[in-house]
Amino acid sequence: MGLRTDLHEELCTLLGSRNVYYEPPESLKLKYPCIIYEVNDIDQIRANNRHYLDIKRYSITYVTNKNNIDITEKFFETFPTCSFDRPYVSDNLWHYVFTLSY
């Protein structure tokens, strides 16, 4: 699967800005709209009793100050292995959470 830096660049392209953050510290002031992502799980594939491949599963959160459910279509077009988990509102910001195997 791809490198995390490749995923970062694809997310920047999807968003149309550099407001993409990998596991940002709480002290970082985010600019909206933005994407926050982190590793959620790692599937290890084995063959012939040996480690063969790691498939990382990322939790990706699109955060915006506007209700924008249309972003789901962009995610699905860009990442065919992406699934939509849930939307929620916190601190007057809309959050759309996706899971992506990459």
Q: Is 19 exposed, middle or buried (0-12, 13-18, 19+ CB in 10 A)?
A: middle
pLDDT of 64-87, one tens digit each? 999 888 888 999 999 998 999 999
In this predicted model, what pLDDT tens digit does every residue of 17-74 receive, in sequence order? 999 999 999 999 999 999 999 999 998 888 888 888 888 999 999 999 998 888 889 9
Q: What is the pLDDT of residue 1?
A: 53
- Give the pairing of strands 20-22 and 34-47: parallel
CB atoms closer than 10 angstroms to residue 54: 10
Is the bond preceding 87 in cis, omega lying within 30 degrees of 0?
Answer: no
Where are the domains positioned within the chain?
4-101
CB contact at 8 A, 94 and 72: no
**What is the percent of the chain where pLDDT is above 70?**
99
- Global pTM? 0.88
The fold adopted by the segment(s) 4-101 is STM4215-like (3.30.2000)
2 has a pLDDT exceeding 80: no
